[in-house]
Amino acid sequence: MSRASVTPPRGVRFCHEDTIIPTVLGQAPRSTPTPSPTLSTSTLESPPLSSPLSLSPHRLPLTVGVANNGDATASPTSCARLPSPTSPTSPNGAGFGLGGGAPCIALDPALQVPGATKLPPFVWDMMRDPQGPHAIVPVLPRATLERPAVTPPLEQMTIAVMPLSDVHPPWPVAITPSSSPYVTVRDVLQGLFVDLQIGLAPENWRVAGEAQARIRLAAERRVERMRKKGDERRDRPEHGRKRLDLLLERYRFGGLLYNPKLQMWELKLEEHS
């Protein structure tokens, strides 16, 4: 009798070294990473990061059609197409709606940007841990959180966080599975939260330039808001500024759209109310 193979469990693995947010898309790091202390409730300072923005998302097909998951008002950017050396890009350069029965990478409805006449499926203030109480309203069912983030499922997704252009260049967030063989809705939400909690490195602070005053004010207001919500243990002034503060209080999750220029999903942001 042959011995049954055992598949090792998967999990989210975070680098033990925090990283500088890249200042240019696809830019290589300008200095060597330095060790950082063990992750705790305090904010960590970020050393250099090698940006994966020059890489294509993992295992995306060469052609993509349009799917709307049963929603006639869904945007075609709920699906993605990547150009490749062996597959020409679409004539209009949009990378969507090629038809012809082409396979489609379809984003889960819970992560899509709602149409102009629709309410979002949930509200999430990204200052708060999505696994914590009252962070997501209404609470997403476990079945929704465990659905694949995209269909067909992927083993990795890369999401671009896009601050205002005069504040800081965008940076990539690599999302990997925590317990499933593929990236789930839960993995996307938790992966974004963990990245936005990373402290700003001195290099990122210098890149911000004239926007530093606005970032500082956003950090102060964030600390005050979390204090009022009873979460002051996580956010104290001495913990410093976070990547989250580069968003200038646009903390509300607005869904994901595929960005054909970056060839990855883009995080859409909304101002908190």
Using alpha carbons, select from 116, 191, 205 the residue that is nearest to residue 161: 191
CB 200 within 8 A of CB 46: yes
Residue 258 counted as domain residue: yes
Residue 163, burial from CB neighbour count under 10 angstroms (0-12, 13-18, 19+): buried
Residue-wise pLDDT tens for the chain (273 aa)?
Answer: 544 445 555 554 444 444 566 544 444 434 444 443 333 333 444 443 334 343 333 333 222 222 333 343 344 445 665 443 333 333 322 223 333 444 578 999 999 998 877 888 999 999 999 999 889 999 999 999 999 999 999 999 999 999 998 899 999 999 999 999 999 999 999 999 999 999 999 988 999 989 999 999 999 999 888 887 765 455 544 458 899 999 998 999 999 999 999 889 999 998 665
Q: How far is CA 103 from CA 47, 63, 81, 82, 184, in A?
A: 39, 7, 9, 12, 20
Residue 89 counted as domain residue: no
Residue type present at position 138: P
Residue 141 counted as domain residue: yes
CB 110 within 8 A of CB 104: no
Helix, strand, coil percentages for the chain (3-state, nearest 5) = 20, 15, 65
Residue 110 counted as domain residue: no
Report the number of distinct structural domains present in the chain. Answer: 1
Phi, psi of 32, deg, nearest 5:
-80, 135
Residue 70 counted as domain residue: no
Q: How far is CA 50 from CA 18, 194, 207, 246, 260, in A?
A: 11, 18, 16, 19, 21
- Give the pLDDT confidence score for residue 25 in this predicted structure: 46
Residue 79 counted as domain residue: no
Residue 33, burial from CB neighbour count under 10 angstroms (0-12, 13-18, 19+): middle
Q: Which residues of 182-217 are buried (b: 16+ CB within 10 A; e: fewer)?
A: bbbbbbbbbbbbebbbbbbbebbbebbeebeebbee
CA 13-168-256 angle, 5° bins: 55
Residue 100 counted as domain residue: no
Using alpha carbons, select from 2, 8, 32 the residue that is nearest to residue 20: 32
Residue 174 counted as domain residue: yes
Domain span holding position 210: 123-270
- Give the pLDDT confidence score for residue 13 in this predicted structure: 45
For residue 124, give every residue at least 6 positions away whose Cβ sits within 8 Å of its Cβ, in sequence order, or none. Answer: 130, 135, 136, 137, 189, 252, 253
